[in-house]
Amino acid sequence: MSSASPIAPGATVAFIGLGHMGGPMAVNLAAAGYRVQGYDPVPAACEAAAAEGVTISGSIAAAVRDAVAVMTSLPSGALVLQVYRGPDGVLANAAPGTLLVDTSTVDVDEARTAAGEARTAGMLALDAPISGGVVGAKAGTLAFMVGGPQEAFDRAQPLFEVLGARAVRCGDSGAGEVVKLCNNMLLAIHQVGVAEALALAQGLGVEAQAFFDVASVATGACWALTTNCPVPGPVPTSPANHDYEPGFAVDLMNKDLGLAIAAVERSGTDAELGRHAQAIFRAVGDDGDGGRDFSVVYRGIAERSGL
């Protein structure tokens, strides 16, 4: 295979980080006919992936050695850089020309640093954070927001097709993370706004269902209302009907808001509502609801509103 060809089934792909998102993605690639060499320091993560067709390697170096692409799904940018660097890392052990696709949600500057170091090592790198949660990772319906060279994006296209419903190249290195963090900051603001509007409507004597019936098809409509409605009833599949079982946990939203607001501060952006949403979701986490879906923000607003 030429180093410029799209990475088609049959190719060897290393997958580093086999957790909630990485595990199902690695399994889906194996099911699609890729030779997937996985690595994770947690034995249970390796066992679950091995049971569904992923070959487990004993080290990062062994996982990446014969691979034409290396995908990563790690908790933080610091870990991505740690996995890339050093004598046992990806950059020292993968062949020049290897395509690196980092699907983790990380700081924009860390993503750009990782891509720069990959370029120096003669490799092509993409930041390709995802949305769609564990359900989307298992179903192969993730959305990828991608930053990096067009050539790298074209090579990765068959991988995105297996793993996702949609992949959009947003610009150069870091652009995928920019879009991910901006989207999630907006989502946090929406979810608080929907919760406050529902609290106000009910406080003024209108049923949540009546507000929903109008707003869900009017100018207030957004995913935080129409899919993730934070009161039980109007949307039977929303987490509010299942004691706010995630969905998208408050702890994960707080991670993304931390990265978004760090970028707000560095860039000098006037994002008052983003900062306010961060303070609100921090308090929700501090109240012990970090493991619940982030629509649980409604519960505190309703209580403090006397509902």
Residue positions annotated with a catalytic role? 180
Instruction: Select from 11, 14, 16, 67 the one that contacts ligand NAD (CB under 6 A).
Output: 16
Which CB sits closer to ligand NAD, 94 or 201?
A: 94
Integer Cα distance of 267 and 250 in angstroms? 25
For residue 93, give the 3-state DSSP assignment.
helix
Which CB sits closer to ligand NAD, 45 or 108?
A: 45
Q: How far is the CB of 9 from ligand NAD (least distance, A)?
A: 24
Rg (CA), the chain: 21
- Residue 136 to residues 21, 188, 246, Cα–Cα distance (Å): 9, 20, 13
Integer Cα distance of 82 and 114 in angstroms? 10
Distance of CA 74 to the CA centre of its chain: 10
Residue 8 found at the interface with ligand NAD (CB under 6 A)? no
Residue 79 found at the interface with ligand NAD (CB under 6 A)? yes
Residue 26 found at the interface with ligand NAD (CB under 6 A)? no
Structure tokens at 216: 């869900």
Which CB sits closer to ligand NAD, 100 or 301?
A: 100
Which residues sit opposite 102 in a β-bridge? 72, 127
Instruction: Select from 38, 133, 164, 239 the one that contacts ligand NAD (CB under 6 A).
Output: 133
Residue 78 found at the interface with ligand NAD (CB under 6 A)? no
Pairing label, strands 142-147, 130-131: antiparallel
Residue 114 found at the interface with ligand NAD (CB under 6 A)? no
Stretch that binds ligand NAD, among 90-98, 130-138, 187-195, 282-290 (CB under 6 A): 130-138
Q: Which residue has the tokens 């706004």?
A: 193
Q: Which residues bind ligand NAD (CB under 6 A)?
A: 16-22, 39-42, 45, 73-75, 79, 82-83, 104-105, 130-131, 133-134, 252, 255
